[in-house]
Structure 1
């Protein structure tokens, strides 16, 4: 057993884990835990099987996620990788992604390659029954963000849409009870486990968007839990995406015209939210998300989580640049300008 995985797993702990593996050459690696444990396990798996692999090359960003110039090493030649989640949020057990932090620079690297997909995942709600309330709410809204971003992504397909819609509906229906009743409502826990996994499968194939780009940097610079960072930002990002005449379209969109507003309306309708016009339905959907966040104890702004204003403003420009450069930005339906990213951060900090 290797226990030294931090909430934002570092490269150093992954290297330590890989060194422990090399001492006895395991045939199977089991990652049991939340997203951090599973992400760290994936990196250990890579370092164990391919100690020669250059981490900086693997972490290279690329404009179109489907056409990369770096060939990831072939995985699974030494060990079979099993992921068992204990939280219902990240979906890491079914995704080709791992987010790792370089402890020397504080930089968060989202690695993306289908070689990182676990060989097996076991979704057993028994492992999730005693999640604390804070984890239940943060991971639940994280899963909702995964579903919303996958549905609005420029790479969404009919296959990912079904998974994303059902995940959203489960979260709206069952997250409040999972949060309030915990292990006393095992059915809600089970439905949230399903929702998290389905949302994971959706974004494993359709990818994410700018909400995750912004959230990754909030985590790296201010150590906000990832689900909380997503929760604070998601409705601002939805408003940004829903503009019918965006300044810039998504990079390689598979459709002729901007249609993010219509996509969000489809999500709202599937979750039982209707209005007389698309705009009214969208506003009602935003209100429903804000209401769900409030019900599960998510605070409204970054400032509410105790992030120092001076430190936030001092690092804002660097954070904006890093978020723009994040691997998730490319699949967003509207391509952001740096000034627009800055505006969303300020709105999320002050709540205006």
Structure 2
């Protein structure tokens, strides 16, 4: 028996930020990042908050927020005695706010504080998930946190906030959306509800990510990618993820490669591993996961006369999408030295096998399997 619940109220589309106009007499703790402050984008929030509200702005957020920053935020939360948390920014700001909220409740014995997430990138889906990732910079380790207590009460998805996102970040975060949706679709916990969300997200990514990449001011494309990110988040919040994210969490920290970009590099190789796909012709042999990938190919209108051809079509479509987005295809393209890879790959494999996301991967990997994937990622051919 599965239980599915959606705690978060979602306000979406152009003008969704006007939801902020409705709050009065609140002590609002705002979690954001320096870019939002320096660029002036934070004013889109301030100009909608009523003068009866009091605000405290915590803007020390950095990518892959470290434990120290979260601790600092918890202390500030306790001092300010907030009754509403608003996180506005990318996945790092939202993840940090989630961690602050849950630790404030546990450490400071505070009541559960209402939480609103306003994403400014279309990638993590963090605004509708019970997951957060914080890091230990000294150890180069990312720690996934999982708790329904971190789920925001509200999410505000306004495309106005993402139209100025640079093209390379649009590409990285968009490929993260695709990875979320595909991993949710083949997860061992997938069901009809998660499938519907994942399928729609996948279709939206292929249709609108190239448009959003080429023209950031294309508000239709931005809105569709924002919605795709949210739906993919809802899907994997039901199913969890898989080996792709299990490796990405560890390898991304070790090699200092952006999370979405690392997921993109991994995606074709993890699909081929899960499908037990071997190039060439011969007797048609496939597992149930290969058939699931072939279903995705069919959804996208790609050739998929059998599972083998469906897997091949999907992998090629992903590689073509990467080319449209001018994304690197190998670890070497990202500046990773072969000797460094050889030094780190055993530790990466060990960490990936321990990662919580790997537990719902459709094929159980070994350390040797992960090392083989890393070797394939280093250089094509």
TM-score by length of 1: 0.87
Tell me which residue corresponds to 2:230: 197
Structure number with bigger Rg: 2
Matched, 1:13 2:69: yes
Deviation of 1:78 after TM superposition, in Å, equals 3.8
Tell me which residue corresponds to 1:343: 372
Confirm or deny: 8 A CA contact 2:297 2:304 kept in the other structure: no
Deviation of 1:351 after TM superposition, in Å, equals 2.4
Tell me which residue corresponds to 2:210: 176
Tell me which residue corresponds to 2:335: 306
3-state secondary structure, aligned to 2:175 = helix
Aligned partners of 2:108 and 2:351: how far apart in 1? Answer: 28
Confirm or deny: 8 A CA contact 2:171 2:213 kept in the other structure: yes
Aligned pairs for 1:121-132 within 5 A: 121-132=155-166
Confirm or deny: 8 A CA contact 1:244 1:259 kept in the other structure: no
Confirm or deny: 8 A CA contact 2:179 2:264 kept in the other structure: yes
Aligned partners of 1:134 and 1:302: how far apart in 2? Answer: 17
Deviation of 1:52 after TM superposition, in Å, equals 6.2
Tell me which residue corresponds to 2:132: 98
Aligned partners of 1:350 and 1:116: how far apart in 2? Answer: 39
Aligned pairs for 1:203-352 within 5 A: 203-243=236-276, 258-352=287-381
Aligned partners of 2:143 and 2:380: how far apart in 1? Answer: 28
Tell me which residue corresponds to 1:147: 181
Tell me which residue corresponds to 1:29: 85
Aligned partners of 1:349 and 1:157: how far apart in 2? Answer: 34
Aligned partners of 2:250 and 2:183: how far apart in 1? Answer: 17
Deviations 1:54-109 (A, max 9, x none): xxxxxxxxxxxxxxxxxxxxxx8341011110000000000110011023322111
3-state secondary structure, aligned to 2:206 = helix
Confirm or deny: 8 A CA contact 2:277 2:308 kept in the other structure: no
Aligned partners of 1:52 and 1:268: how far apart in 2? Answer: 50
3-state secondary structure, aligned to 1:328 = helix
Deviations 1:96-147 (A, max 9, x none): 1001102332211111122221111111111111110111000000000000
Tell me which residue corresponds to 1:165: 199
Matched, 1:42 2:98: yes
Aligned partners of 2:120 and 2:168: how far apart in 1? Answer: 14
3-state secondary structure, aligned to 1:233 = helix
TM-score by length of 2: 0.81
What do you get for the CA RMSD once the two structures are aligned?
1.6
Confirm or deny: 8 A CA contact 1:27 1:78 kept in the other structure: no
Aligned partners of 2:78 and 2:189: how far apart in 1? Answer: 38
Deviation of 1:312 after TM superposition, in Å, equals 2.1
Structure 2: which 5+ runs fail to align?
A: 1-56, 279-285
Confirm or deny: 8 A CA contact 1:147 1:203 kept in the other structure: yes
Confirm or deny: 8 A CA contact 1:12 1:103 kept in the other structure: no
Deviation of 1:323 after TM superposition, in Å, equals 0.8
Deviation of 1:50 after TM superposition, in Å, equals 1.8
Aligned partners of 2:303 and 2:332: how far apart in 1? Answer: 33
Confirm or deny: 8 A CA contact 1:10 1:101 kept in the other structure: yes
Confirm or deny: 8 A CA contact 2:189 2:240 kept in the other structure: yes
Change (3 A) 1:244 1:223: closer
Tell me which residue corresponds to 1:65: none
Aligned partners of 2:203 and 2:317: how far apart in 1? Answer: 12
Instruction: Answer with 338-347 or 299-308: which moved more.
Output: 299-308
Aligned partners of 2:108 and 2:85: how far apart in 1? Answer: 19
Larger RCO of the pair (alpha carbons < 8 Å, separation 6+): 1
Moved over 3 A (4+): none
Aligned partners of 1:159 and 1:342: how far apart in 2? Answer: 34
Aligned partners of 1:169 and 1:308: how far apart in 2? Answer: 35
Tell me which residue corresponds to 1:84: 118
Aligned partners of 2:68 and 2:181: how far apart in 1? Answer: 31
Deviations 1:173-221 (A, max 9, x none): 00001000111x1100000001000000000001100000111112211
